[in-house]
A and B are shown apart, each in its own frame.
Chain A
Amino acid sequence: MTAIEPAYPIIRPEPEPPPLRQPEDRGRVTVDGVEVAYEAHGTGTPTVLLLPTWSLVHSRIWKAQLPYLARHFRVLTFDGRGNGGSDRPAEPEAYRPDRFAADAIAVMDATATDRAVTVALSQGTLWALLLATAAPERVLGSCFVGPFFPVGPPYPGFMTARFDDPDPPAGRWAIYNRRRWQRDWRAFAQFWGELALPERHSSRQVESTVAYALDTEPETIASTIAWSLQNGAGTLAEAIEAGGQEALTALAGQVSCPVEVVCGDRDEITPLAWAQALARASDGELTVFEGYGHAPHARHPVRFNLLLRRFVERCASSNGDAAGSV
């Protein structure tokens, strides 16, 4: 049915409501002088580590998972460096994937967490793969949602956007640009939220994406891109094609723990083909959310939470641990 435009003045949007659940524990860890804020929820077993994604947003992206998972497991979240309660270093080097992986290990150490099932969304895929291969004794299983696994074309538009061009070519992707972000950060956040959530009735999640992006600065997020674009690459596609794709596939092949990959078939940020490639390379299960975009965990939380719970329980039992609340 055709979209209905409201005829009546919309009541002013409310700010993001407070979290439903207070953490059992919260704290900060420091890695290379960068402080990272974490929270621990629930008291069950095993521990589920909900990793940060691109620093455009922070750990509140997992708000639809937290209350449910915390009833059955212990859940760790932390804000990726660059947003939320964590530091916002300016230098691009601070945003290397192995730094985010080091932050994850530091959070696990600080919370006396031997092993966890990791859950990664989008760009978090990179640091989850590093964790699973560099520290396999710490990872019970890996779940990847809308995975950023750019092993080949066709590329979504942001991969071929010329981020540092002062005058990018006109078109839909001109907005993926340092200058444009400085001029109108909110417009980019709105664009990215709508791109991630093509499903109807997603206005709430889009609004949250904008709110989280406004918790940080465009200059900080530009640094996360700048790291990827070193060595003269003008676009993310150029950066990854210099041998990066084989390395990525090889890395996924080294993952030895159980893997679950979840992806929407309307995902315009990380296409389904990348999820299929990741599942193949890592010998993982793939679940496709038909009709869903880049945030199936947010837009269909019940189905996602049930799937994740079953996966966590499988990981725990295949490892000999009993899963569930203490």
Chain B
Amino acid sequence: MSAKADIAPHPATLRGRCEVEPTRARYPDEEGFVAGDDGVRVFYEVYGEGPDTICLLPPWALMSSRSWRGQIHYLSRHFRLIAIDPRGNGRSDRPRHPAAYSRAAHVADVLAVLDATDTPSAMLASVSPRAPLALALAVEHPERVRAIAFITPQLWPEESFVREFTAGRRERYEGYSRFNPSHWKRDYEGFVRWFATTVLPHPHSTRQIEEIVAHALETDGETLIPATIGFDMYDREEGLALAAEIRCPVLVTRNGGEAFWPKQCSGPLAEASGGRLHVFDGLGPVVGARWPVAMNLVLREFFESVRAGDAAGAAARVTQ
């Protein structure tokens, strides 16, 4: 089935900027669209310049690349940086068929953006349920991936999430039972407001809560459902086995405060991939938006160690 028929430019793509963010600390130096074989256009931005590129992978379609805004202006002072809007939100197209949201489609999007921006290889950063995207890129296209920072990774679906998501229609939805397609169809905004306030329970989070709600309302339940169903995560065994094949440097971060999901795969992923595990003591669930300094310092240190390590490796090769 062709997904082209049901792609129409979303009003957000025409508007360009979300009103909740009247100005930015830093604007992109370059922006553009790539279009895959299925015709879905994906939006990207490039900040800064230089030989070392960080690619901030698209998050779950509930949010756009603006969810990285706490990181973009700082990291782009020290690296070239690419940010990509996910299919389903931001300025990317919003197809309605689950097939358009497969992991393979996302992998193709990232490669297309790297090609369009003349980026031979990049250091990747992923968030939560889009960790499988980073893993797939590293394993299927290792020559394009210099390093990975897995932020609060979810490689396989949480049991509690699956249970709620497949529970069928309910009388009422509260708490985690809101992770339900019927609820998203009937009361998407209710879901969004619950999610934003639950993922940011700390005081003085009103700005971040407002932004999550505003960005989530740039899409809708009818788009989020296929975007969630269509993205194939790994199962535990497969994911960890593939993680063991990663050869590049890996950082895994975990929040040390309130956990949004009871179990996370951070520890097993760090171990399997030979990566370093960093725990943000007392912080979370969302560290990058609510404690951006803490996140930025950890990411910068990791990416600079990759840059230094690569340089040392290159120098060693020259002297051999």
Which residues between 210 and 248 of chain B lie within 8 Å of chain A, taking CB atoms? 210, 213-214
A107 to B203, CA, bound (A): 37
What residues on A are CB-neighbors of B210 within 8 Å?
Answer: 1, 4, 201
A8 with B201, Cβ < 8 A, contacts A1-B20, A1-B210, A1-B214 known: yes
Rounded to whole Å, the gap between the CB of B15 and the closest CB of chain A is 15
What residues on A are CB-neighbors of B203 within 8 Å?
Answer: 10-11, 13, 203-204, 207
Does A7 interact with chain B (Cβ within 8 Å)? yes
Contact B193 A11 (CB under 8 A): no
Chain B facing A: main interface SS? helix
Rounded to whole Å, the gap between the CB of A128 and the closest CB of chain B is 31
Bits for A4-18, please: 1 = Cβ < 8 Å to B, else 0.
111111110100000
Does A200 interact with chain B (Cβ within 8 Å)? yes
* Number of residues of chain A lying within 8 A (CB) of chain B: 16
* B213 nearest CB neighbor, chain A only: A4
What residues on A are CB-neighbors of B198 within 8 Å?
Answer: 7-8
Contact B206 A200 (CB under 8 A): yes
* A13 nearest CB neighbor, chain B only: B203
A162 to B300, CA, bound (A): 57
Does B263 interact with chain A (Cβ within 8 Å)? no
Contact A201 B206 (CB under 8 A): yes
What residues on B are CB-neighbors of A204 within 8 Å?
Answer: 203-204
A4 to B214, CA, bound (A): 12
A11 with B201, Cβ < 8 A, contacts A4-B206, A201-B207, A203-B206 known: yes
What residues on B are CB-neighbors of A9 within 8 Å?
Answer: 201
Contact A4 B197 (CB under 8 A): yes
A100 to B204, CA, bound (A): 34
Does B194 interact with chain A (Cβ within 8 Å)? yes
Interface-centre pick from B20, B204, B213 (highest chain A CB count, 10 A): B204
Bits for B179-210, please: 1 = Cβ < 8 Å to A, else 0.
00000000000000110111001111011011
Binding site for A on B (CB under 8 A): 20, 193-194, 196-198, 201-204, 206-207, 209-210, 213-214, 257-258
Binding site for B on A (CB under 8 A): 1, 3-11, 13, 200-201, 203-204, 207
A-B contact pairs, 29 of them (CB 8 A): A1-B20, A1-B210, A1-B213, A1-B214, A3-B206, A4-B196, A4-B206, A4-B209, A4-B210, A4-B213, A6-B209, A7-B194, A7-B197, A8-B197, A9-B201, A10-B201, A10-B202, A11-B202, A11-B203, A11-B257, A201-B204, A201-B206, A201-B210, A203-B203, A203-B206, A204-B203, A204-B204, A207-B203, A207-B204
